[in-house]
Chain A
Amino acid sequence: MRLLWLSALACNGNAHALLNYPHFEEWQEDFEWLYHPLLPSTHAFVEVEEGIEGVEILIVDGTLEEGLVKNRLVYNELLARYAAEAKCIVTVGTCATFGGIFAQGGEGRSGLHFSKERRHGRFDDFWEKTVSLPGCPVQPEVLAGTLSMLRLGEPLPLDALHRPKYFYAYTVHDGCTRNEYFEYKIDEHRFGALEGCMFYEHGCQGTFTHGSCNKILWNGVHSKTRAGTPCMGCTEPDFPRETLWRTSKHMGIPARMPLGVPRRAYLSLAGIAKAFRIERFERPMMEDERG
């Protein structure tokens, strides 16, 4: 299957992350890079500008900017040309999907279809054939897996923002090793510790962020939240929010609730959970259970 990877305003993190895909070499045998920002490709960028044939999947990376010129041509026009031809379009990363960080750095910047959660409509003709893979960067397993499924024509159920459910129906909270501290509402958390949950004080967005970070695991071994770093919500339309390392609260009550959980239900459960002092959660994990 022939892939054309075009980057607008990007950091190249999605491309580099993909190289870490454990089976990259074998996986790549099924694909041909018509153009890729790092890897050897069939065409040079200048040729892409002149016009190339046979694009099957268009991969859009980076924040779009009105009037942006990478070399000779207006980038958005280049994009529209290949988007019309491609069977399918995949927006990789939060920048290409929702605008992301760089959308905040200048005028006229957005994702392919979205400005944050709002559909801006400029590329509406291509909406039906677009798959959204947000993430900053997108996990390599998500990108490689999606492309393979598209190639094989396997069903790929999408949610309302066109994210494949297989990867984005989970929250980052699913599978975090700090879950028990969340369940029992232990709100103390200190950095540099194995214990504690970062929902209450340190801005963890895991419970309302769509993604497989704690299911697939990053680099196959770990994740931010497991490593004591709060989830910054990098797959979400409003990434990056302000004051990322502190939980915003109203009179001590977290301003954002876990995905789909009514506040009343959350607060009732929290009240009950908080009533109990559970000894195990008050001592270091590595200490003996008794004595």
Chain B
Amino acid sequence: MIKEQHRAEKKAKRRGEIVRTALKLFAEKGFYATTIPEMARDLKMSVGNLYNYFSSKEILAQEIIREISAYLGARIREVNEAELSVREKIRRIVTIYFETARDEPEMIDFFLRVYLSNREVFHEGCEGMICVNEFVTEIMIFFDDGVASGALKNQDFFSAFGLFMGYLGGMVFLNGENILPRALEEYVDDISENIYNALKVS
């Protein structure tokens, strides 16, 4: 019993390491330039063994996006469930996004450089928004609450979603290219205010 549990734990740990390593490589070099042997080398495991965990590079990439979505979704869910004004919630979501870009830059890089750029990788298994479901669901709930409370304008979901996420993605991109004169965190207040103004009821 105990032995079995131990083995499962070990396996899960190994799996996590694979995901993390793959994430780093994908984010750095892109999906196609990264190879399974390279990953295996970094992980100090055999190619064959790695395939025991993930049967293809595509499946691995899909797993990564799902984990990123779950990670962001869980953090935004905390915001959604807190008793806060819509304005404050926007600030928190922006903060979460930028913190993630700072502390886990590969996550956001992966999202922008792989998930959004190599759509063909995600066609089978990640149709529509399935693999980012948790994240999108929380954003939907945020919007829904906002409209229900009378704070946000009732509009098309994608117009609002694009405005919010496009803006944040753009800022992270500029930051990554070292174009921003100030640190990303210093933009939180302005950006939150802009988003709020763009989404609130007129």
Are A and B co-members of a single complex? yes
Chain A residues engaging chain B, CB cutoff 8 angstroms:
249-253, 255, 263-264, 267-268, 271-272, 274-276
- B-side contacts of A251, CB under 8 Å: 140, 143-144, 147, 152, 154-157, 160
Nearest-Cβ distance from residue A275 to partner chain B, whole angstroms: 3
Choose one: B128, B137, B144, B157; the contact of A275 (CB below 8 Å).
B128
Contact A263 B144 (CB under 8 A): yes
Do residues B143 and A276 form an inter-chain contact, with CB atoms below 8 A? no
Q: Which residue of chain B has its CB nearest to the CB of A249?
A: B154
CA distance A12 to B183 in the complex (A): 72
Question: How many A-B Cβ pairs are below 8 Å?
Answer: 53
Q: Which of B140, B148, B152, B157 has the most CB of A within 10 A?
A: B140
Closest to A263 in B: B141
Distance in angstroms from B143 CB to nearest chain A CB is 4
Which residues from chain B contact A264 at a C-beta distance below 8 Å?
77, 137, 141
Contact A276 B127 (CB under 8 A): yes
In this complex, what residue of B is CB-closest to A255? Answer: B148
Instruction: Establish whether residues B127 and A275, one from each chain, have CB atoms under 8 Å apart when the complex forms.
Output: yes
Q: Which one, B133, B141, B143, B146, contacts A272 given CB within 8 A? A: B133
Which residue in A263, A268, A275, A276 is a CB contact (below 8 Å) of B134? A268
Partner of A253, one of B127, B128, B130, B143: B143
Known A267-B141, A275-B127: A252·B157 in contact at CB below 8 Å: yes
Q: Say whether, besides A267-B140, A271-B137, A272-B133, A252 and B128 are in contact (CB < 8 Å).
A: no
Contacts beyond the supplied A271-B129, A275-B128: 4 A-B pairs with Cβ under 8 Å? A251-B144, A253-B157, A263-B141, A275-B129
> Is the CB–CB distance between A250 and B154 below 8 Å?
yes
User: B40: CB under 8 A from chain A?
Assistant: no
Q: Is B141 a contact partner of A271 (Cβ separation < 8 A)?
A: no
A203 to chain B, nearest CB (A): 16
Q: Which of A250, A255, A271 contacts B128 (CB 8 A)?
A: A271
Write the nearest CB–CB distance from B159 to chain A, whole angstroms. Answer: 8
Q: How far, in whole Å, are A18 and B157 apart by their CA atoms in the complex? A: 46
Interchain nearest-CB distance for A255 vs B (Å): 7
Does residue B136 face the partner (Cβ distance < 8 Å to A)?
Answer: yes
